């Protein structure tokens, strides 16, 4: 998962810097970001399944089970937040590509 997070960070940093220069480079970056989002989503699903298993198997109250699951599987919240942000950048890249296409 760390490799995916590093790749996403590098792509977003490069996009933010404006180094991509051409639409072709931006298309490649957008494709790489989209595939990285997909791979991170797989980790998010695994984390959710772990989290859900903890909540389901806990014999205490639901609130305690959720608190325990949140504590034991912090990857769920982290991946959810990163995915949300990465999707926003991906949308921005698509918008930029649309603008470049019209020019």
pLDDT in tens, 40-50: 999 999 999 99
Say whether pLDDT at 103 is over 90: no
User: Which pLDDT score is estimated for 52?
Assistant: 97
pLDDT band at 67; cut points 50, 70, 90: very high
Average pLDDT over residues 84-96: 96
pLDDT band at 2; cut points 50, 70, 90: very high
User: Which pLDDT score is estimated for 19?
Assistant: 82
**In the numeric block, which tokens belong to residue 30?**
């957008």
Burial of 69 per CB tally in 10 Å (0-12, 13-18, 19+): buried
User: Which pLDDT score is estimated for 75?
Assistant: 96
Least Cα distance to 90 among 39, 45, 32 occurs for: 32
pTM of the model: 0.86
Q: Regarding predicted confidence, which is higher, 9 or 100?
A: 9
pLDDT tens digits, 71-82: 999 999 999 999
């Amino acid at each position: 998962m760390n490799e995916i997070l590093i790749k996403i960070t590098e792509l977003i940093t490069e996009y933010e810097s404006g180094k991509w220069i051409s639409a072709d480079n931006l298309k490649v970056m957008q494709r790489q970001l989209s595939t990285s989002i997909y791979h991170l989503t797989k980790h998010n699903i695994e984390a959710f399944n772990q989290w859900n298993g903890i909540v389901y198997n806990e014999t205490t109250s639901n609130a305690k089970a959720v608190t325990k699951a949140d504590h034991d599987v912090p990857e769920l919240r982290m991946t959810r937040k990163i995915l949300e942000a990465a999707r926003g950048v991906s949308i921005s890249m698509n918008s930029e590509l649309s603008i470049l296409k019209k020019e």
